[in-house]
Amino acid sequence: MRLILTILAGLILAVIIAVLSRPPAASPDRLVVDGVHIIDVRTGEIAEDQAILVEAGRIIEITDAERSRSASRRVDGGGRYVIPGLWDSHVHATGDVTDALDRTLPLFLAHGVTHVRDMGSNLERVADIRTGIAADAGQLAPRMLISGPIMTEVELRWYGDIQRAIGEPGEADLAVQELVEADADFAKAYTGLSAGSYAALVAAATQSGLPVDGHVPDSVGLVGVVEAGQRTIEHMDISAFLTCAGGPDGPFGNHLALRFGVGMEAHMRNLANFWQAVDWDLCAPALEGLGGRGGALVLTLSMEIRERALVPPESLASLSEASRAWCLQGLEEIDAVPDAVRQTAYGAMAEALMRIKDTGVTLLAGTDAPNHCIVPGISLAVEMERLGEAGLTPLEVLRTATLNPAQVFGGQTGIEVGQPADFVLLETNPLNDITAYRQPTGVFTQARYLDRDDLQALRDAARTTQAN
C-alpha cells in the first residue's frame, strides 16, 4: 500500500510540474517577434537574439529568443535589428483628405515612420482625416501631431487655406481659441510675423497651454524666440539664423531674392558665405538655452542639399506628374551649378551643423514632405543619410528620429516592457549602415504588424510611374 501511495504521489507531482512548465495558452492578439537584435537608442548597446512579446499593442515581455512564450502569431526576426518607430518631425500631410488617407499616411508607415508632426493644417480637413481614420479599422496611418494653420501676419497667396492671419488686434487670441477647440497639439509661428503679433501669439498660446513651434520671425530673431519660450525652431536655413549674421538689413537680407530670382548658383554662393559669417558668440548661447529647457532644432537638410544622386528612383516614381516635373526642373538647376560651388556650400553647412551640435541643442530629423523632390517616408531615410554625411554619428542620426522627438513631444523612448509596441525591423545594423532605413522589413504599430510583403504593397500602391 505504501508503494502504491508513493507511486501515486510521484505521478501527481509529475503532472503538477508538467502543468506549471507548460507555456501559457496563446492569446488571440499576442504576437512574438523572435530572433532580433534590439538597439538601445540611448546608449547604442545591442541586445542580441531577443524575443519581443506584444499583446494588445503593448510590449509585455522581452527575453532571450530561446525562452520566448507562445503566441497566436510568431514572426521570425531572422537576426534583423529593431529600433523604435521613426518620427518625421516636419511634414505637410493633410493637403487633401482622400490623398492623405489613401496614399500619404500609409506611405509613411511603409517606410517605418510611425509618428509625424504636421506643420500646416486646414482644421476642417484635419477633422475629416481623423474621422476617416477612426471610422475605418483597416486604415493605415501614423500617429499625428497637428499644428493647425500657419500663423502669418497677413495672408500669403501661396499658402491658401492652411494659414491664419493674426496681424490685427485680438486675432491671435481668436486663432489660439480655434486651435484649442479643434484639439490641435501646438501653434506654428511663421517668418513674417511682426514682433507685436508674435508676442500676442505666444501670450495666448501660453495661457491656453499650447506650445509654440515654428519659424524665426525676422522681427524677433533667433535669440528672441528662444527667450520667448518657443519650443522648436524649424529648418537649419538662412531664415532661421538670419539675425545671427546681420539680420534682414544686413548682407544676407536678400537671400530669398537670390534663391528664387537670380538663380541657384547665386544662392549656393550666398549660402556658403552666410554660414561662414554666422556670429556663434551671439547665437550659440541661445541654442544652448533652447536645448537646456527641452526645445529642439528641426534640421530639414533635404531642403538645402538637393543633389540628383540623393533622390532615389523610388521617390521619383511616387511623385505626381506635376511634382515630378517640378522636381526634375529643380535638379537641372542644381546640375548647372559648378560642383565646387555646391560642395563649398554643403561643406559650410556641415561645419555649421557641428557648431550647432556642440551647443547641446536637441536635433530632430524632418523632411518638409512633400516639398521639392521629397516623398513621405522614403525621404526621411534620405534625410538621415544626409545628417550622417554632414558629420553626425550613426547613433546621433538614429536619435534624431527616435529618442529625441519622443523626449520633446512625448512618446516611446525605447523598446521596453510596458511601452506601446511601435517598432521597426531593419535588415542591417543602422549603427554600421546609414542606408539601413531605406527598406524596413517589418513595422509594428497601433496593435498591427506589417511584414515585408505588406510594406512593399503599400509602396507599390503609392507609385504613379515605374522607378527608373
What's the CATH architecture for 85-148+231-419? Answer: Alpha-Beta Barrel (3.20)
Q: Can you read off the three cell numbers belonging to residue 145? A: 501631431
> Can you tell me the distance from the alpha carbon of 163 to that of 161, in angstroms, rounded to the nearest whole number?
6
Phi, psi of 73 (to 5 degrees): -140, 135
Give pLDDT, residue 385: 95
Domain edges within the chain: 2-79, 85-148+231-419
Average pLDDT, the chain: 90
* Residues 395, 404 contacting (CB under 8 angstroms): no
- pTM comes to 0.91
* Residues 190, 215 contacting (CB under 8 angstroms): yes
Give pLDDT, residue 24: 39
Give buried/exposed letters for 343-363 (b at 16+ CB in 10 A, else e). Answer: ebbbebbbebbeebbebebbb
- The stretches in the chain having pLDDT less than 70 are 1-28, 68, 465-468
> Can you tell me the distance from the alpha carbon of 329 to that of 163, in angstroms, rounded to the nearest whole number?
27
Q: Can you read off the three cell numbers belonging to residue 249? A: 538689413
> Can you tell me the distance from the alpha carbon of 186 to that of 168, in angstroms, rounded to the nearest whole number?
21
Give pLDDT, residue 2: 53
Q: Can you read off the three cell numbers belonging to residue 9? A: 504521489
Give pLDDT, residue 138: 87
Q: E strands along 22-110, which residues?
A: 30-39, 46-55, 58-64, 73-76, 81-84, 86-91
* Residues 111, 320 contacting (CB under 8 angstroms): no
> Can you tell me the distance from the alpha carbon of 380 to that of 343, in angstroms, rounded to the nearest whole number?
22
CATH number for 2-79 (one of 2.30.40, 1.10.10, 3.30.870, 1.20.1300): it is 2.30.40
Give pLDDT, residue 67: 73
Give pLDDT, residue 468: 53
Conformation bin of residue 379: beta by default, left when phi > 0, alpha when psi is -120 to 50: alpha
